[in-house]
């Protein structure tokens, strides 16, 4: 039996965390961590190589450039983690969503997954949206000191919440219906997105975002469909 729907934004995240022992979750988590490591090692190496190439330093100046480059690369990696995690999570969202539905909602009919190309595009769109909003938050934080973390959290809550919800919903309905359902339940989606975005500031916990975020949105989607059923296929267009 599925747990009863809850208005708490923590409930979907807690259900997702409770399923971390699922072999599917563990497999995706390992892949996500591996991809993240590859991305950030490449970022680190690229930052150091660029600093050497641009400055052409030697001796202790080169050592200082390496140190500053390492600090800068670490800060950049932390800032870019959420966009990268969002992109990686959407690449595996169908696998995660199926595992959640198999455990909690076995009576649901098989979904009609979007084509792989569309899934990849959605993942990139979510990542770019988070990245763009983080840039806006960074600029505003420089103009209005002291509010950077709050602004970053707010824009990330919107971008990752809406992006993951629509991506998961598109497994069971056309994009138009998924967007309409988001509009009808946007506060539930955004509150859960806020919980997920908050985890991005917690070391180690942020590694779980690609898996837990998608799983949590499956529970949010189920509650949304139960509260406001949407058509599973697009209505015929008038001629």
Answer for the pair 161, 196: CB distance below 8 angstroms, yes or no. Answer: yes
Q: Return the pLDDT at 15.
A: 92
* CB-based contacts of 77, cutoff 8 Å, min separation 6: 40, 43, 44
pLDDT digit string (tens) for 112-149?
756 667 666 766 776 677 677 667 766 776 777 667 67
- Structure-model confidence comparison of residues 152 and 229, the more confident one: 152
Average pLDDT, the chain: 76
Q: Which residues of 183-199 are buried (b: 16+ CB within 10 A; e: fewer)?
A: eebbebbbbbbbbbbeb
pLDDT at 231 over 60: no
Alpha-carbon distance of 145 to 24, in angstroms, equals 43
Give the position of tokens 């052409």: 56
205 — pLDDT class (breaks 50, 70, 90): confident
Q: Return the pLDDT at 219.
A: 93
- Structure-model confidence comparison of residues 188 and 8, the more confident one: 188
pLDDT digit string (tens) for 61-115?
666 766 776 776 667 666 666 667 666 766 788 889 999 999 999 988 888 756 6
Other CB atoms within 10 A of residue 99 CB: 21
Query: Average pLDDT for residues 198-202, to the nearest whole number?
Result: 77
239 — pLDDT class (breaks 50, 70, 90): very low
Alpha-carbon distance of 15 to 13, in angstroms, equals 5
Answer for the pair 199, 12: CB distance below 8 angstroms, yes or no. Answer: no
Side-chain half-sphere CA neighbours of 114 within 13 A: 23
Which tokens sit at 64? 């200082």
Percent of the chain with pLDDT over 70: 66
Angle at 77 between CA 152 and CA 186, to 5 degrees: 35
Other CB atoms within 10 A of residue 102 CB: 12
- Where are the chain's structural domains? 10-227
Out of 11-25, 114-128, 198-212, give the one with best mean pLDDT.
11-25
Side-chain half-sphere CA neighbours of 129 within 13 A: 19
Query: Average pLDDT for residues 211-215, to the nearest whole number?
Result: 89
Alpha-carbon distance of 1 to 9, in angstroms, equals 20
pLDDT at 3 over 50: no
Q: Return the pLDDT at 121.
A: 74
Can you give the pTM of this predicted structure?
A: 0.75
């Amino acid at each position: 039996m599925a747990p009863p729907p809850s208005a708490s934004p923590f409930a979907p995240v807690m259900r997702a965390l409770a399923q971390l022992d699922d072999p599917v979750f563990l497999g995706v988590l390992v892949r996500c961590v591996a991809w993240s490591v590859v991305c950030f090692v490449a970022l680190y190496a690229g930052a150091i190589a660029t600093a050497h190439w641009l400055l052409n330093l030697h001796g202790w100046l080169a050592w200082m450039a390496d140190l500053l480059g390492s600090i800068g690369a670490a800060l950049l990696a932390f800032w870019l983690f959420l966009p990268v995690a969002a992109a990686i999570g959407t690449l595996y969202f169908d696998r995660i969503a199926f595992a959640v539905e198999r455990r909690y909602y076995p009576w649901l009919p098989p979904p009609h997954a979007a084509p792989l190309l569309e899934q990849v595009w959605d993942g990139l769109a979510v990542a770019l949206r988070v990245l763009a909003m983080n840039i806006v938050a960074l600029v505003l934080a420089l103009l209005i000191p002291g509010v950077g973390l709050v602004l970053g959290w707010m824009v990330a809550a919107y971008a990752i919440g809406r992006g993951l919800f629509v991506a998961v919903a598109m497994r069971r309905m056309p994009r138009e219906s998924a967007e309409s359902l988001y509009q009808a339940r946007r506060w539930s989606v955004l509150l859960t997105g806020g919980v997920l975005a908050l985890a991005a500031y917690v070391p180690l916990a942020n590694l779980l975002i690609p898996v837990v975020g998608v799983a949590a949105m499956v529970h949010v989607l189920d509650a949304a469909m139960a509260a406001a059923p949407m058509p599973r296929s697009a209505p015929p267009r008038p001629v």
